[in-house]
Amino acid sequence: MKRIWNNFFFDFSARTYIMGILNITPDSFSDGGLYLDQEHAVKQAVRMLKDGADIIDIGGESTRPGAKRISAREEIKRVVPVIKAVSGKVNVPISIDTYKASVAEAALKAGASIINDISGLRFDSDMANVAAQHKVPVIIMHIQGTPGNMQKNPSYRALIPEITDYFHQGIAIARKAGIPDDMIILDPGIGFGKTVEHNLEILKCLGDFSGFEKPLLLGHSRKSFIGKILDDLPVSERLEGTSAAAAIGIMNGADIIRVHDVKEMVRVAAIADRIKRS
């Protein structure tokens, strides 16, 4: 599976690609408050590039469980200056992590070239049109509920079939707006309306989504299910758990892993890829 997105070439049959996380927020669960200053944000982006990141994912609103919503104006104020600065320093695609079409529009004009939508094109009816008009890839993520309520009591009759149906519907929304099939990436949404057992089932069953013939993104880095399995370890001590989940995810079909610890996950992916593709 090969893709050319805005002159960036991806060969998913050759290796796993690394998306580095850069949150311009005061309240993200892991790195909230660390990169609100533009200078620090740019330095972190450059550091992730040197460590091997293939994509830099920039977000301005926390979507952790129970997070408070912010206005599009505030989100744009946070991300656009950073995207402009980072785009002049790195030679990899920048994705904008947002579910608001106006934020995506501003970010794309500032230098972003991928839309990462946690709502799978559902929260803002204009999002698919923005992606189509700008001819950029879109990540369709599965979520049950909203960030404010998604972890209150997530339940499914059949988890994998329900995510599969959600993907079919999201792809239909994208196609209707004019987004080509080769511009769609799928993300099963680890931690977004899922229990620990749901997250483990997704990791074990990633291969069930291979029939879509679209790149599959795994966003598991440092998340709470890892901490819960490891006797409630805090975020700062979840590197080994993140590494284990990354390796298993890659073996089971992940094409892109979205991570905080880029250098370490590049190494994990290199080993997992060598085993998987040998």
Catalytic-residue membership of 258: yes
In tens, the pLDDT along 151-185 reads 999 999 999 999 999 999 999 999 999 999 999 99
Q: Is residue 42 situated within a structural domain? A: yes
Do the domain assignments include residue 137? yes
* Residues 61-77, mean pLDDT to the nearest whole number: 89
Tell whether 10 is covered by a domain.
no
Over 60: is that where the pLDDT of 31 sits? Answer: no
Residue 178 lies in a domain: yes
Identify the weakest region by mean pLDDT among 13-27, 33-47, 62-76, 204-218.
Answer: 33-47
Q: What is the mean pLDDT of the chain?
A: 95
Q: Which of 78, 100, 222, 258 is catalytic?
A: 258
Q: How far apart are CA 117 and CA 50, in angstroms?
A: 26
Question: Has residue 8 been placed in a domain?
Answer: no
Range of the domain at 115: 15-277
The rounded distance, in Å, linking the Cα atoms of 73 and 58 is 16
Strands 256-259 and 17-23: parallel
- Report if residue 9 sits inside a domain: no
Domain count, the chain: 1
Task: Give the rounded percent of residues in the chain with a pLDDT score beyond 70.
Answer: 96
pLDDT at residue 115 greater than cutoff 90: yes
Where residue 162 falls (left for φ over 0; alpha for ψ -120 to 50; beta otherwise) is alpha
- The CATH number that applies at residue 110 is 3.20.20.20
Which residue of the set 223, 267, 274, 276 is catalytic? 223
What is the model's pLDDT at position 263?
98
Q: Is the dihedral of CA 230, 164, 28, 36 positive or negative?
A: positive
Residue 277 pLDDT greater than 70, yes or no: yes
In a domain, 63, yes or no: yes
Q: Is the pLDDT of residue 33 over 90?
A: no
Examine residue 3 and state whether it is found in any structural domain, yes or no: no
